[in-house]
Structure 1
């Protein structure tokens, strides 16, 4: 509950967000050794997860996929983000690594949605597919 309230306040009050960022910068300068140790420990883990995701995407991309159209969809998402100021992602309708089923990285399984919608959906199938 507290985190949700904080996020709402950060979005609505830019001055508050700037004060928090300044406070964070000061703490990082004062505790650089702790930050450095954490980055070293967790940076490798983050790289591992990114590489794992890329490998899954490669395995889920068949040779017949329309790669140029897929790239165009990612470009379109970036263009919409720049035009509207609202972050957009390319979403896999059927997740690449779902619990019940795994989808493919093909044009028919991709759509452009807002980042907020994509984060809420997470790694789940959409309700319409489950009902069908």
Structure 2
């Protein structure tokens, strides 16, 4: 048992953190004078009063041990995927406005590159858009993708079954060549595969 010099309670030794200097502990046990709870409160108060020092300290540690910390983090994340997913879900709910601001800032930095890609995409679609294409059906497909994204909480996209732009084939931007699929599947599909493609090109 040991008395905490902050809250003055007699607590079990397990309630105290060990100090790196054994001579600072009580009776040579190497225990800190304050219990874990009181130490945490003190640390939080100090951090609050010394935000700039804390930021500088953390930045210095990060730069010094960046690779090591990234490896440790990667290992932890791989072993705790469910915890990480739950943490990110709660973080997004709590920081919705902040996340939107970050996304907006990121988009603003890439605005020129995004415009180039969008314009290129529009040009390809315009050239591949036949007169007989049913615009109503196509509009419904895009609406369906939005509704599924909203209801199912994952991104859905309108995919061109036969790619519009590929080294091997160029499909049409029409109702006969689109499907609504999850974004993850669309990304993995890319423009390298399509139904009934020649076997030697798969």
Fold shared, TM-score > 0.5 on shorter chain: yes
Alpha-carbon separation, structure 1, partners of 2:190 and 2:167: 12
Aligned length: 117
The residue number in structure 2 matching 1:15 is 87
Tell me the alpha carbon deviations over residues 16-64 of structure 1, each in whole angstroms, 9 at most, x when there is no partner: 5749xx8xx7xxxxxxxxx89x92xx42122111111111111111111
Deviates more, 1:4-13 or 1:61-70: 4-13
Q: Does the alignment pair 1:57 with 2:125? A: yes
Alpha-carbon separation, structure 2, partners of 1:49 and 1:102: 18
Q: Does the alignment pair 1:123 with 2:196? A: no
Deviates more, 1:107-116 or 1:121-130: 121-130
Tell me the alpha carbon deviations over residues 78-114 of structure 1, each in whole angstroms, 9 at most, x when there is no partner: 1122221121111101100011010001111101111
Q: Secondary structure at the match of 1:44?
A: helix
With the length of structure 2 as denominator, give the TM-score of the two structures: 0.47
Alpha-carbon separation, structure 1, partners of 2:168 and 2:159: 18
Greater percentage in helix: 1
With the length of structure 1 as denominator, give the TM-score of the two structures: 0.69
CA gap of 1:16–1:110, structure 2 versus 1, over 3 A, is closer
Alpha-carbon separation, structure 1, partners of 2:181 and 2:83: 20
Report if the CA contact (8 A) 2:138-2:175 is conserved.
yes
Structure number with greater CO (CA < 8 Å, separation at least 6) is 1
CA gap of 1:83–1:16, structure 2 versus 1, over 3 A, is closer
Output aligned runs, 1:1-132, within 5 Å.
Answer: 9=81, 12-16=84-88, 18=91, 39=109, 42-126=110-194, 128-131=196-199
Instruction: Show structure 2 runs of 5+ residues with no match.
Output: 1-70, 99-104
